[in-house]
Amino acid sequence: MMSVKDEKFVSCSPPSDRTILLNFQTTPPLSESHRPKHECGVFAVFGHKDAPLLTYYGLFALQHRGQESAGIASSNGDGKVFCLHKGMGLVSQVFDPENLESLKGTRAIGHVRYSTTGSSTLLNSQPLGVDTARGQIAVAHNGNLVNAAALRDELENRGSIFQTTVDSEIVLHLLAQPDHTMGGPIGSLRRLEGAFSIVVMGENEIIGVRDPNGLRPLSLGKLDDAWVLSSETCAFDLIGATFIRDLEPGEVVVINDQGLHSEFPFVPAREAFCIFEYVYFARPDSRLRGVTVSKARVNMGRELARLHPVEADVVIPVPDSGIYAALGFAEELGIPYDPAFVRNHYIGRTFIQPNQLIRDFNVRVKLNLIGDAVKGKRVVVVDDSVVRGTTAKARVVNLREAGAKEVHLRISCPPHRHACYYGIDFPDPEKLIANQHTHQEICDYLGADSIGYLDVDGMVRATGLEKNSFCMACFTGEYPVPFDAAFDKLIMERRKDSAQLLADQSAQPTLITARS
Ligand code: SF4
């Protein structure tokens, strides 16, 4: 395994026939927000002379899926030279013409990250690379492995040495196992449980993997003779690639010089695509399972209007993800639509936020309200979710101060009452306002005149797809894949801490008594 440090450095091995070029940089981490956090985005190109550059553009299109770190691994035609550049921050901050130029090759994989397992550090950024007895491998992963701790224990007991605290590194070690131990590289993937859309670059191929429940998206496209894999189809549009199809749940596609072939190595499972991709995560211009996300959101707004109609003068969206649901809501009830909240798209990651100097500053700096649009009016605000309630409450205050006569909140999905263990970073259930309070209590807390959530059936109808093909566990508590109840984002850190403690205890036996 390559050794990396959590600081800026450039390491280039002397050229050889098996060379890995490393390049890392850091920028400050993102500030906290009260929105649900995106997960990650993956992208891959096989068979194009500009594969690294296309991957860079692809990551730009997927930036909404993760803003903590970005990286690209590329490989030349004979697969012997692997190059890797990654860093903390946005794609635009991590890459510049110089480091992009250093990424050569006809194959590349890329990753944008929001951390859902393992802390947000450069060490944990992806792609992850390793030079093994079976050749070099680089991996980029979207999702959460629910059996990560058990697999890591097993692999460490076999002698694997882990460098990071991300579950994705487990994929790397499984792929690196000798053929006889786990049924070859693809067979070894059968050990994975949970949510995973993965792109792997080996010396001879690029592999795309989708978990048997199909929790996270992964689509296949073509650009001339090159194959492209992407978390979302919006990235195909940017680079001019043609969408071919979504990978099936449980499908593994292997792309090499002989072409593309697919395998289904996993035990078949019920399809359980994350419905929150339609509500919030995915870009409105992406198509998921044949349904354009913006269309599903408009339909959610229409369903919401039929379920919770209200007499009002204006419908305003909370941008960006509330825009299409608000349009549908307004159209359904024949109420004027006005985008009265204006988003500031230019808040840099290094922006210094005052603590108590200006009330609700975090909310106001991102969204400013056009007061004239709501003054003296009965206002409906359409948002995609209420997580903790603090942001929604500040918005209601903002509307009241601007002179809104009535404020009615409409939410384009059911209340979030449960945690997600499949790659979405919702807070602990105790911090989810709908887990702890009734609708009336939430309405009173937010200071709204009324609140109405879309129900599960309306949300599913809006997609036009089968109800039992979705995961809706954060709404219903019905989890399609069993998980370890102790699982959370920092499980690997805690595991590492306790391993360190045990090592310390072995070195200083007297401490064992003290701890126990
Ligand atoms: Fe998506 Fe919710 Fe299921 Fe997580 S629990 S995968 S957010 S639907």
pLDDT in tens, 424-456: 877 688 889 999 899 999 999 999 999 999 999
**pLDDT given at position 242:** 98
* Contact partners, residue 83, CB within 8 Å, separation at least 6: 20, 21, 23, 52, 73, 74, 75, 102, 103, 104, 105
Q: Of 396, 378, 398, nearest to 386 (Cα)?
A: 396
pLDDT at 87 over 90: yes
Q: At residue 177, what is the residue type? A: Q
What are the helix (H) ranges across 367-438?
A: 390-401, 433-436
- By most ligand atoms within 8 Å of CB, the mutation choice from 270, 279, 460, 471 for ligand 1 is 471
Q: Is the pLDDT of residue 146 over 70?
A: yes
Atom of ligand 1 nearest to the CA of 426: 7
Question: Which pLDDT value is given to residue 2?
Answer: 35
Residue 33 has pLDDT above 60, yes or no: no
Q: Looking up tokens 């359409």, which residue turns up?
A: 382
Residue 352: is its pLDDT beyond 70?
no
User: Model pTM?
Assistant: 0.87
473 ligand 1 Cβ < 6 A = yes
Q: Which residue lies with its CA nearest to atom 6 of ligand 1?
A: 274
pLDDT of residue 5: 29
User: Which of 274, 460, 479 best tests ligand 1's pocket when mutated (most atoms within 8 Å of CB)?
Assistant: 274
pLDDT the model gives residue 6: 29
Q: Which residue shows structure tokens 């992009």?
A: 100
Nearest residue (CA) to ligand 1, atom 1: 274
Å from CA of 165 to ligand 1 middle: 23
CA of 182 to the centre of ligand 1 (A): 30
- Pick the atom of ligand 1 nearest to 419's CA: 5
Give the Cα separation of 241 and 78 in Å (integer): 24
Cα–Cα distance for residue pair 310/424, rounded to 1 Å? 32
Mean pLDDT of 280-309: 97
Q: Respond yes or no: is residue 40 known to be catalytic.
A: yes
User: Looking at ligand 1, which atom is closest to the CA of residue 195?
Assistant: 6
CB 366 within 8 A of CB 344: yes
Contacts of 234 (CB under 8 A, 6+ apart): 61, 62, 283, 285, 286
Q: What is the mean pLDDT of residues 59-86?
A: 91
Phi, psi of 122 (to 5 degrees): -60, -35
pLDDT category of residue 320 using cuts at 50, 70 and 90: confident
Only one residue has tokens 């920092």, namely 490
φ, ψ at 299 (rounded to 5°): -60, -40
Contact 235, 250 (CB under 8 A): no
Integer Cα distance of 214 and 237 in angstroms: 23
Residues in contact with 451: Cβ distance below 8 Å, sequence separation at least 6, in sequence order: 408, 409, 410, 411, 439, 442, 443
pLDDT at 513: 22
pLDDT of residue 1: 35
Among the listed residues 40, 274, 420, 474, the single catalytic one is 40
Does the beta carbon of 278 lie inside 6 Å of ligand 1?
A: no
Question: Quick check: 72 pLDDT over 90?
Answer: yes
Q: Residues 6 or more apart from 31 whose CB is under 8 A from it?
A: 349, 351, 353, 362
Query: What's the token pair of residue 424?
Result: 């979405």
